[in-house]
Amino acid sequence: MAMPLTIHLELSELATIETVKQHAASGLIGRGDPISADANRAAKIVEIVRSLFLPLGEAVTIRLGDGTGSDRFLKADFAWNGDPDIGGVSAQGLGRTKLGKFNRRAVDQNRPVTGYIFEGAIGGWIVDLLGATVIRANNVFATFIAHELGHQLGLGHEAAKDNIMFVWADMPVADRQQYLRLANDVKLAFTEKQVAAMKATIAAP
Ligand SMILES: [Zn+2]
């Protein structure tokens, strides 16, 4: 059997709800499981990401870490991209060692970063689109992390709002809300076809 692909997530700089509030236009903050300074939050988010990748079995291992020695490395960054419509960017996975073009931040030039999530943008969506509902921000962040990792494992976008790889950009507000509600409840999953495609990417040279 092929070596499992190791993915490290660096979530140590995840923003607090106060930071998101400062950047949110609406000021609506929900109840429930808010974005917080919970010291265990990163570990909780990793657990949720792992649950979304369970169908891949031993093909992929997901850990918290700084990327040292890992095959793939996704980092949470508050607002590097600066575009409120983009929640993350990733290298496109073409194979286990082959990745499509990807621009790192200058500060990460010498680090093995292969993807980012922009929590400022995602926090803004949570605040604006789920403001009146019970929010489980860890679930939402974990879903967007899984989406970016899906790109790293070779997946493209899907139009269906009940798919983790929902395209998001330019989609109607109602579709975005539905996607966020499903993410909030960890109701999104990769399809069998997507799982097979990700396994094929990992198995390729
Ligand atoms: Zn995407």
138-192 pLDDT per residue, tens: 899 999 999 999 999 999 999 999 999 999 988 999 999 999 999 999 999 999 9
pLDDT band at 119 (very low <50, low <70, confident <90, very high): confident
- For residue 16, the model assigns a pLDDT of 59
**Residue 84 neighbours by CB distance under 10 Å:** 15
Residues 18-57 have pLDDT tens digits of: 555 555 544 333 333 445 556 688 899 999 999 999 999 9
Q: Given this model, what pLDDT does residue 30 score?
A: 37
The whole-angstrom separation of Cα 27 and Cα 21 is: 6
CA distances to 17, 47, 80, 90, 125 from 168, rounded to whole Å, are 23, 24, 19, 15, 11
State in Å: Cα 106 to ligand 1 middle. Answer: 22
Query: Could you tell me the distance, in angstroms and rounded to a whole number, from the CA of residue 165 to the centre of ligand 1?
Result: 6
Q: What would the pLDDT profile of 105-117 be if each residue is shown by its tens digit?
A: 999 998 899 999 9
Q: Tokens 């990401």 appear where?
A: 49
Cβ atoms 24, 124 nearer than 8 A: yes
| 33 Cα–ligand 1 center, Å | 25
Per CATH, which fold does 5-155+191-203 belong to? Collagenase (Catalytic Domain) (3.40.390)
CA–centroid distance, 2 to ligand 1, in Å, is 27
One-letter identity of residue 128: D
